[in-house]
Amino acid sequence: MIRYIIRRLLWGVLSLIVVAALLFILFRVLPTGNPALLRAGRDPKPKLVKEIEVALGLSKPLPVQFWDYLKEIFLHLNFGYSYYSQQSVRSLIAERLPPTISLALGAGVLWIVAGFGIGIVSALRRHSLWDRAAMGGALVAISAPEFWLGLVFLYLFSSDIGKFKLLPGAGSYVSLSSDPWKWFTSLIMPWIVLAAGAAAIFARLMRGSLTETMREDYIRTARAKGLPERDVVRHGVRAAVNPLVTLFGLELAALLGGAVIVETVFNIPGVGRLSYQAIQSADFPVIQGTVLLAAMFVIVANIVVDISYAYLDPRVRYS
C-alpha cells in the first residue's frame, strides 16, 4: 500500500511537469507568446525587446530556459510576476485562495449531500411523483451552464436586482473571519449554482446504482435477518456508493472549471476570477500559476480518491 502511494505521488509529480511543459510551450515557444514582446508596450523598438529578453532570460537556449523555469516552479514555488501589477503570482494566488476554498468546499458538501440524498430517495421511490420531479430537475441542472444558472439565480433572488429579494447578490462576498453570517448568506447562491450540475449527475448515478444493489441477494439476506428497513437501505447504499467514488475525481475537475465562471458571475474575489481576469489581459504568469494550481489539486484529489477506494472496497488492494 505504501509503495502504491509513493508510486502514485511520483506519477502525480510527472503529470505536473507535463502540464508545466505544455504551459511553457504555449507561452514561450509559440510565436504569439513572446513575453518580452508583451511587456515592451505598443510598437516597441527591437532593441528594447532584446533588452527585456536578456533581462527575463529569454535569450538563453530553450532547454536551458525550460530547466530554469522548472527549477523556479518546483524548487522555489516561484511562478513569476504579474505583467500588470508586478506582484508575485504566488502572493496573488495566496490572497485569493480563501474565497475559492470557501466556495469549493461548500459546493462540494452540497454536491455530495444533495446528490446522494436525492438519488437515494429516488431509488427507493422509483416512479413516484418525487422521483419524476427530482429526475426532471436533475436533467435541467445537468443541461444548464453555470453562467446562465448563475444569472437566473441573481435575477430571481438577489437583494439588489432580484424579483424576490432574498439573498445578497453579486459582489457581496466577505471573508469568514469578518462576518460569518454574511459570508454564509453571500455564498448560498454560488454554492447552489456551482454544485447543481455535479449533484444532478450524482443523483442520477446514485439512483441507478442503488436500484441495482437493492435487488441483490445480500439485501434479501438483510431483510431475512429481520433488520429494520433503515439498516437494509444502509446495506444497499454502502454497496451503491463504491462505483461512484471513482467518478468523484473527474467531477471535481469539472467543479474547478465551474468555479472560474461562478466567481466571475457572482464577483467573488477568488482564484477563479483572478484567472478569468488574467486571461482577459493576457497576464501569462498568472494564468500559468492558476492552471498549475488547478492541475495539482485535481491530481492530488484523484490520488486521494484511489487510495480511499482501497479502503471502501476491501477486495481491491493495490500492490
Partner 1 sequence: MTMGRGPDEAPLLRVEDLRVEFVSEDGAVHAVDGVSYEVRSGRTLGIVGESGSGKTVCSLTTLGLTRHQGARVSGRILFEGQDLVTLPEDELRAIRGNEIAMIFQDPLSSLHPLYRVGAQLIEAVRAHRDVSKAKARERAIELLGLVGISDPARRVDDYPYEFSGGMRQRAMIAMALANEPKLLIADEPTTALDVTVQAQILALIERLQRELGMAVVIITHDLGVAAEMADEIAVMYAGRIVETASAERLFAAPEHPYTWGLLRSIPRLDAQRAADLTPIPGTPPSLINPPSGCHFHPRCPYAQPDHARIDPALEPVPDDPSQFVACLLETQVRRRLWQQLGAGDTPEQALAAVGLPSGDEAGAPA
Q: Which is nearer to partner 1, 36 or 239 (CB)?
A: 239
Contact call for residue 124 and partner 1 (CB under 8 A): no
For residue 302, the minimal CB distance to partner 1 (Å) is 22
Helix axes 271-280 and 229-265, enclosed angle (nearest 10): 40
Near partner 1 by CB under 8 A: residue from 7, 71, 125, 238: 238
Give the side-chain half-sphere CA count within 13 A for 5.
Answer: 9
Contact call for residue 43 and partner 1 (CB under 8 A): no
The x, y and z cell numbers of residue 315, run together, are 477486495
Residue among 239, 287, 232, 211 nearest 20 (CA): 287
* 74-82, 83-91, 93-101, 218-226 -> range binding partner 1 (CB under 8 A): 218-226
DSSP label of 27? I
Binding to partner 1 in span 143-172, by CB under 8 A = none
The x, y and z cell numbers of residue 210, run together, are 442503488
For residue 78, the minimal CB distance to partner 1 (Å) is 46
Contact call for residue 120 and partner 1 (CB under 8 A): no
Q: Quick check: 305 and 246 in contact, CB under 8 A? A: yes
Binding to partner 1 in span 257-316, by CB under 8 A = 312-315
Using CB under 8 A as the binding criterion, the count of chain residues that bind partner 1 stands at 21
CB neighbours of 63 closer than 8 A, spacing ≥ 6?
none
Contact call for residue 125 and partner 1 (CB under 8 A): no
Q: Mask: binding to partner 1, 241-260, rule CB under 8 A, as x and -?
A: -x------------------
Residue among 174, 195, 197 nearest 186 (CA): 174
Q: Which is nearer to partner 1, 68 or 229 (CB)?
A: 229
- Integer-rounded Cα Rg, in Å, for the chain is 24
Q: Quick check: 55 and 81 in contact, CB under 8 A? A: no
Near partner 1 by CB under 8 A: residue from 51, 95, 216, 306: 216
For residue 237, the minimal CB distance to partner 1 (Å) is 11
How far does CA 222 lie from the centroid of its chain? Answer: 38
Q: Which residues sit opposite 167 in a β-bridge?
A: 158
Contact call for residue 72 and partner 1 (CB under 8 A): no
Q: Which is nearer to partner 1, 160 or 231 (CB)?
A: 231
Instruction: Render 182-237 in DSSP notation, one character per residue.
Output: HHHHHHHHHHHHHHHHHHHHHHHHHHHHHHHHTTSHHHHHHHHTT--HHHHHHHHH
For residue 318, the minimal CB distance to partner 1 (Å) is 16
Near partner 1 by CB under 8 A: residue from 91, 128, 143, 221: 221
Contact call for residue 222 and partner 1 (CB under 8 A): yes
Contact call for residue 217 and partner 1 (CB under 8 A): yes
- CA dihedral of residues 70, 72, 73, 79 (deg, nearest 10): -130
Distance CA 312, CA 230 (A): 21
Binding site for partner 1 (CB under 8 A): 216-218, 220-228, 231, 235, 238-239, 242, 312-315
